[in-house]
Structure 1
């Protein structure tokens, strides 16, 4: 994709479906929010207009919601390359020097990290901040246990039920499962095939927000995020499970706002 491709078609609207609903000034800091495996931009839609001076921009990967008919990504590199196109094109549409930050939850944390490294490789602008939750540090991200991409349908449903965050009525509806499980398994394939490559730390502050009862994230492996920034690192633990940052959104917003004000 080129900048012209993005700005002259509906591609931008696909990737950033709520772009026109931020309620923020066009020059406000852009916070690109990347969802968890199987998640959609709608997970962050309720965050819009909740962060003073911030334009919350939920990102919509293919294979879900308004992009249900599009094939989801199964590997990190092409996903990150296309995301970098989108972010750089979107920033180019705003005022020169517009600040931006990245928020990623679970798989979105790893994607956000690699996105910033890709933007750096292209000589793009540095982000004001990287926020991560629901994920161990990238160099410690090897998956333990059976791969989700190899699980049977009942096994995937059982895994999602234990993880939380997916309404039971969705898990009990075969028709809905037909729609959502391909994206879930493709997204987990992105994570399970991810191979960390050594590069210098980002010159971007990082804030990590782990949850104490997260069944998929070993709390001791979250501290490793500090190795990936040459700037400030902050750690804000949450009580609760994998989706605690959404269930306690007011607290999440507080940490984001405080970090960006610095």
Structure 2
């Protein structure tokens, strides 16, 4: 299990053993490094970026094409890492959908659920939203144009044919996970849920993100960013503030030391 954990959670946050683990799930095509700049930025919280297969150090591992096996394996990893500690889950875009189904899978196991679910850049799972033609079977030039319009992918990567050969299979697989997803009706979650929504997100309208509130009977918060699909990364300081506010009830106070 230690080897499995090191593959899925390669970037450790050195915030102390008493910090609240926050498992961060990346957007389509992205890996754990997307959240590296967040480590150490939320007091009392250990940001643990998740590394799905098919990218970065795991580029040789076959990526998932469907959500069910992904959340089945991920639930085992999250529960093993958390142990008897409280923990929270954050996901952006595809990562938000995976985070939601992860929470439901953990509930089905009757295992300790996350103390808070935080999502951004994603339509509420029970709502429909036309965000354009399917991506998983797009011709490469069209796919590159779409990624360029969406933002969030470095131009050097999109302009390098050899790098694209390594990068695009994970992108296609991730969009396959999203585009083959079918929402299954279950009772709402009972845990707190926070949404970080953007005003000009072409892949998730503000209205459809607000509908996440229907997925929990617990406390619900909706915060709005002025910006596009990657506003939570472009305005990381604001994101960290909202994360700190959401997770404050589970963060252990630091001892006061007289100086």
Could you state the TM-score of these two structures normalised by the residue count of structure 2? Answer: 0.94
Aligned to 2:77: 86
1:137 paired with 2:128, answer no
Instruction: Look up the SS of the partner of 1:236 in the other structure.
Output: strand
C-alpha contact 1:126 1:203 (8 A) present in aligned 2: no
Q: How many residues align?
A: 249
User: Secondary structure at 2:27's aligned position in 1?
Assistant: coil
- 1:109 partnered with 2:96: yes
Structure 1 residues 1-262: aligned runs within 5 Å: 6-7=1-2, 10-19=3-12, 22-92=13-83, 96=84, 98-141=85-128, 144-262=131-249
In structure 1, C-alpha distance between the alignment counterparts of 2:56 and 2:176, rounded to whole Å? 19
Per-residue deviation, 1:145: 3.0
Cα gap change, 1:69 to 1:141, in 2 (>3 Å): farther
Following TM superposition, the consecutive aligned residue runs of length 4 or more in structure 1 with deviations greater than 6 angstroms are none
For 1:157 and 1:138, how far apart are their aligned partners in 2?
26
CA contact (8 A) 1:143 1:192 kept: no
* SS of 1:25 mapped into structure 2: coil
Preserved CA contact (<8 Å) 2:131 2:203: no
Gaps of 5+ in 2: 250-259
1:144 positional shift = 4.4
Q: What RMSD in Å do the two structures reach over aligned CA positions?
A: 1.1
* Alpha-carbon separation, structure 2, partners of 1:25 and 1:167: 32
Asked if the contact 1:142/1:192 (under 8 Å) is kept, the reply is: no
Q: 1:3-57 deviations in whole A, cap 9, x for unaligned?
A: xxx13xx2111100012xx122213211000000001100001111111111110
For the 8 Å contact 2:25–2:49, the answer to whether it is kept is: yes
Distance in 2, Cα, partners of 1:141 & 1:43: 27
Equivalence for 1:3: none
Q: Is the 8 A contact 2:31 2:51 kept in 1?
A: yes
TM-score under structure 1 normalisation? Answer: 0.93
Shift of 1:76: 0.3
What is the rounded CA distance, in whole Å, between the counterparts of 1:181 and 1:143 in structure 2?
22
The residue matched to 1:216 in structure 2 has which SS? coil
| 1:49–1:66 Cα change, 3 Å | same
